[in-house]
A and B are shown apart, each in its own frame.
Chain A
Amino acid sequence: MHFDAANLLPILPEIAVLLTAAIVLVVDLYIAERHREVIHGLTLIGLVAAVALTGAVGGGATELVFDGNVVRDSLADLLKGAILVVSLLVFIYARPWLRDRDMLVGEFYMLGLFAVLGMLVMVAANSFITVYLGLELLALSLYALVAFDRDSSRGAEAAMKYFVLGALGSGMLLYGISMVYGATGSVEFGAVAEALASQGMENKVLVFGLVFMVIGIGFKFGAVPFHMWVPDVYEGAPTPVVLLLGSAPKIAAFGLAIRLLVDGLGSLHADWQGMLLILAVLSMGIGNLVAIAQRNIKRMLAYSTISHVGFIFLGLLAGTEQGYAAAMFYTITYAVMATGAFGILIILSRKGFDAERIEDLKGLNERDSWYAAMMALVMFSMAGVPPLVGFMAKLLVLEAVVRIGFVWLAVVAVIFSIIGAFYYLRVVRYIYFDKPEEDAPALVSSGGVRVAMSLNGLALLALGIFPASLLAVCQAVFGA
């Protein structure tokens, strides 16, 4: 195999993240305890550099490198940028929490960076092997991170559950990949697509392979009925890890779905559309209904995630350029919303106390009206109330399903979104309508967190009022 150094150019962002992880690992060994915050700074610098490199090497025609195993196209550029920016916010929010609990250590940053690297590899994959590689890198880092607070038995339990179910999901995916390889004789998406086009869909092995792959994607997204791990992991894992796990990986999972289902198995659209339809309706239904019964806000947000995944699937199953663009818009904006929601939970936590019950948000408006407003923006956005971006995202996916003539599906989706509005409103209710508890201390947060949270919350408003530019970018990716 001939190696060309030009191969390395399109993966410079990945290299930057890998280098940062390696540097963090080494620096962490030698640095004194009181200088630990340097690691945080290094991580942020590494991520900013990766964002810059994504911009620098991005744009232009599609490039295939490493013998067609890795691709750099507009989809990869955009998803990488989104993953990196969201991860940047994640690390900024996580710092005070880690510092208060003496957990600001190299391992968190190293594992977190490897997770980011895994996500970047996933969205830039052009073969089943690369996709799987990225997926496992992400998953293994996250398994370890969920158990990061080693004294917490809940964390260990959650990690165990996550690991077992995650491994099962990965296994399903791998099994599906092997079947498709058997049927088409290739692992590279382009070759698979060509083989499919020539041999048609008569081959039963292919259909089985597709089913297993959709199951794998369902597991990674946390779509019903493959959602069992989501609430337990969200509840048991430390809040910064949930923040990491609940935001950017959704973007990566979207990349996974597009790469596998559209780039690889696009000609089987008619087959996977029905499967995604079932997953979407179940996810919206179960997610929204069960979320109402939750008292733990992390569990509530877990079920809310499940319902949002249903909406993302609506865009995917449409199978049109507009549908993919809408799903992408939804995924990216959802990641921003989720980051804001968990960010607020971290801000509300302090040493020896984690904000976990919905009641912990009581009277936030009196404790800090700015954070209260930001959380209200996040909640209204998740509920899909204009002028916030959550509405635009819902509008676009609904438009996509109506476009393919599924008006009934749009009606089902809006009914579930009404049900969903209830539990988001309940959060707003605690923030604004209730008095804070007597012993609630004032919120302290360093300047960086406040700036990041303000940007995060106002971005939801700004994207809702001016959605055109992000939407245009998403549509350009799919040539709509």
Chain B
Amino acid sequence: MYQFPLLTLLIWLPIVGGIAVLASGDRSASTSKWTALGFAVLTFVSSLWLWFGFDPGTAEMQFAERVAWIPTFDVYYALGVDGISMPLIILTTFITIFVVIAGWEVISYKPSQYMAAFLIMEGVMIGVFSALDAVLFYVFWEAMLIPMFIIIGVWGGPNRVYATIKFFIYTFFGSVFMLVALIYMYFQADSFSILDFHGLELGMTAQTLIFIAFLLAFAVKVPMFPVHTWLPDAHVEAPTGGSVVLAAIMLKIGGYGFLRFSMPIAPDASAALAWLIIAMSLIAVVYIGFVALAQRDMKKLIAYSSIAHMGFVTLGFFIVFAIVQNSTAGAGAVMGVEGGMVQMISHGFISGALFLCVGVLYDRVHSREIADYGGVVNTMPWFGAFFVYFAMANSGLPGTSGFVGEFMVILATFRANFWWALLAATTLILAAAYTLWMIKRVVFGPVANDKVAALTDLNRREALNLGVLAAAVLALGLWPAPLLEVMHTSVEHLVAQVTTCKLPADEIGACVLARPEPLATVVQP
């Protein structure tokens, strides 16, 4: 049956667009901007097809493609999406539009290279979410670094060189060990297919080493405490668009990695080391929450808030193992993973919007210091309204998307351990404290200085950006059911997979997870 290669289109359309924009050069800035916007919108519209053509009733990979790439090493150009990766692809195509619009007037230095870098990165990130071959995944995963490195380094703030090299080396460091793990598994499974890795029976030592290799890669990307230090630097120095992509999409790739690799490939090691991840997540939620409180730079504050919110994501994912060991009911487990997923999507919207808000202020005043502002609402009432709204969403106000994910994760955590849940729930206080305190100092109060007095309110372009994101946050907060529905079957499948012991027969005694059912003998008719 012929199937239209939709995923290939989604990956290569923005990349081709990026090359076209690059080729158009800087002779006419408006041509490159409109071309970039055109390609971004076209990619988003095409990605909607993914949403509507998706069958939520199966955990199988859909829209699958498979072409031999390096035949002598069994490497395939294999793509496919399930309910976990599909929403993330839509998020990517959606956010990229705002990134392009946000750079519309602000970027005057080599705008075509700027737009091209974001388009190429969009294609590569979609590649990460849809790759089903480990080598292909790794290629996309690493290739992502090149455009981001250039974006922060060329269009970033004063300390950009330090920040971007730190960003690159940190992530590169994390991921090379994953490469060794992938090669190791190739020789175990005799295939580079990620789905074959899922079925691989591995001993506890191998699982633990593989888990640690993956942890290095994904923990740096998420980022988890204590390997989070690159993120505040990168966020502060990156241009607005770079911060948005970083927070809204790139961090999600780390979370996605846990779901696609660590948990299903090494479930027993994940169960054994779940305490570590849960501890790291709770530290991120509580400690980083306090760190955020102390920030004087708005971007840094939002960056720390991102780390804390991503702590919820990893908590939701790994609480599964604690729940399974506590009770026989699997429902809480599914809720934890789904909560983490919703949190990822929602954080994509909210953190993206918050960085856009800071970008709006920065474009006018060229300062990110909280102390340089005050009483912004007097001169920018519309902006003030949006900023307050997104701040509320960031602190998890019911009715916004921020609430849904956090609530689900806390609920799931209760099934595992009351005290953990209590710690996790402090985020509702901490996030409200640091976000709203920032709002109080920036938005409200008397007009602080002449610069604030001279501010002009949102232009139409900015209003459109924030308006659409506000609608998305509200929609996801009020009615998350469609999102939950598309991912439900895949998440259930995943949870069943990760709660089944994968140890070989001679180590079966060490299983803390459910032992697999003995295979029913198939009677040939």
**Would you give the shortest CB distance from B522 to chain A, in whole angstroms?**
35
Give the complex CA separation of A423 and B68 in angstroms.
35
Chain A residues with CB under 8 Å of B143's CB are 385-387
Give a binary string over A414-447; 1 marks a CB under 8 Å from any B CB, 0 the rest: 1101100110011011001100000000000000
**Distance from B194 Cβ to chain A, minimum over Cβ atoms (Å):** 16
Are B153 and A411 closer than 8 Å at their CB atoms? no
A407 engages B184 (CB within 8 Å)? yes
For B149, the chain A residues whose CB sits under 8 A away are 425, 428
B523 within 8 A of A: no
What secondary structure prevails in chain A residues at the interface with B? Answer: helix
B142 and A391 form a contact (CB under 8 A): yes
CB distance A433 to B160 under 8 Å?
yes
Asked whether A144 is an interface residue with its Cβ less than 8 Å from the other chain, the reply is: no
Cβ of A398 and Cβ of B183 under 8 Å apart?
A: yes
Which residues of the other chain, B, contact A396 by a CB distance below 8 angstroms?
Answer: 73
0 or 1 for each of A441-480: is its CB under 8 Å from B? (1 = yes): 0000000000000000000000000011001100100001
- B127-143 vs A, CB cutoff 8 Å, 1 = contact: the mask equals 00000000100111011
Q: Does B154 contact A (CB under 8 A)?
A: yes
Q: What B residues does A417 contact at CB under 8 A?
A: 176
Q: A385-B146, A387-B143, A472-B72 are in contact. Are A418 and B184 (CB under 8 A)?
A: no
Q: Is the CB of B180 within 8 A of A398?
A: yes
Contact A369/B146 with A395-B183, A414-B176, A418-B172 known, Cβ cut-off 8 Å: no
- State which of B72, B110, B161, B172 has its C-beta within 8 Å of the C-beta of A471: B72
Residues of A within 8 A of B104 (CB): none
Q: How far is the CB of A454 from chain B (nearest CB, A)?
A: 13
Interface centre among B69, B149, B173, by most chain A C-beta atoms within 10 angstroms, is B149
Is B186 part of the contact surface with A, judged by Cβ < 8 Å? yes
Query: When each residue 363-374 of chain A gets 1 if its CB lies under 8 Å from chain B and 0 otherwise, what string results?
Result: 001000100000
Contact A422 B169 (CB under 8 A): yes
Residues on the B chain within 8 Å of A421, using CB:
168-169, 172
Chain B residues lying within 8 Å of A14, measured Cβ to Cβ, are none
B2 interface hit (Cβ, 8 Å): no
Given A386-B138, A411-B177, verify A468-B69 contact (CB < 8 Å): yes
A414 and B179: CB pair below 8 A? yes
Q: Bound state CA distance, A395 and B143, in angstroms? A: 14
A385 contacts across to B, CB distance below 8 A: 142-143, 145-146, 172
Query: Is B150 positioned at the interface, with any CB of A under 8 Å from its CB?
Result: yes
Contact of A414 among B68, B168, B177, B186 (CB under 8 A): B177
Q: Give chain B nearest CB distance to A367 CB in angstroms.
A: 13
Query: Shortest distance in angstroms between A244's beta carbon and chain B's nearest beta carbon?
Result: 30
> Which residues of A have CB within 8 Å of B184?
402, 407
User: What CA separation (Å) do A432 and B114 show in the bound complex?
Assistant: 12
Q: List 21 A-B contacts (CB under 8 A).
A: A365-B110, A369-B113, A386-B138, A386-B140, A386-B142, A395-B179, A395-B183, A398-B179, A398-B183, A414-B180, A415-B176, A418-B172, A422-B169, A425-B165, A428-B153, A432-B154, A433-B154, A433-B161, A433-B164, A468-B68, A468-B71
A contact set with B: CB distance below 8 Å: 365, 369, 380, 385-387, 391, 395-396, 398-399, 402-403, 407, 410-411, 414-415, 417-418, 421-422, 425-426, 428-429, 432-433, 467-468, 471-472, 475, 480
6 A-B pairs with the lowest CB-CB distances in the bound complex, closest first: A414-B176, A386-B139, A433-B153, A386-B142, A468-B70, A402-B183
B residues sitting closer than 8 Å to A (CB atoms) are 68-73, 110, 113, 135, 138-140, 142-143, 145-146, 149-150, 153-154, 160-161, 164-165, 168-169, 172-173, 176-177, 179-180, 183-184, 186-187
